[in-house]
Copies of this chain bind each other. A is one copy, B any other.
Amino acid sequence: MTIRVPRQVDHKARRDHITEALLDIVAQRGLEAISLRTVAEQAGVSIGRIQHYFASKDDLLAYAIEYQDWLIQQRWNQQSWPEGDPTPRQALRWLMLQMIPDSSQRRREWLVGVAYLIRMIDSPKLRALYIEGLPRLLDLLAGLIRTAQETGDIAPERDPAREAELLFGIADSQGPPVVLGLRTPQQATETIDYYLDHLFR
């Protein structure tokens, strides 16, 4: 039997290295600045190498958001929650703070998401990332709200689904002012805490 010899080069690693360069450019200068030449230069590789690992520019662009989506999933799965067994309020707060672009990593993710947004409208594949991801997050938030209602920490007349939308919206809307430097991540956090203070009692 022939032993499966590992590939000479790590295919995924090469693709990801190129993709990292692309995402950096997109976050700094937008999709318009993407060309095989600019990506090759940013990645420090030849155009030939990019062509070897990606069938076309479109293929590269498509892989890039999938890669970013994968990156985000990885982070959510790996990052530990605030404390071992957080209260609903702590969990909600933590989830909302995750949405603030307060690190270079999250800032890049946020900007790339914005850059791809117009493309999402006409691309079913891109849209799916949003269409499927958002309800999942909203369900998560609504579940935590329901739990807090059971323990009496949130008034029972609050609608969990609506409240989840509000929480998401409040956190989501911090993106532009934070990225544009109008508000600090600290100030965004204060606004989030202000609302949580009113939601919980």
Identify the A interface with B (CB < 8 A): 27-32, 34, 111, 114-115, 117-121, 127, 130-131, 134, 159, 162, 165-166, 168-170, 172-174, 176-177, 179-182, 191, 194-195
Contact = CB atoms under 8 A, between A and B. Distances in A.
9 contacts: A114-B118, A117-B176, A117-B180, A127-B180, A130-B182, A162-B191, A166-B195, A169-B169, A169-B174
A173 B180 contact: no
B170 A173 contact: yes
B118 A111 contact: yes
List of 6 A-B pairs having minimum Cβ-Cβ separation, nearest first: A169-B173, A32-B32, A30-B118, A173-B173, A172-B173, A162-B194
A118 B166 CA distance: 26
Contacts of A168: 173
Nearest to A26: B118
B30 A130 contact: no
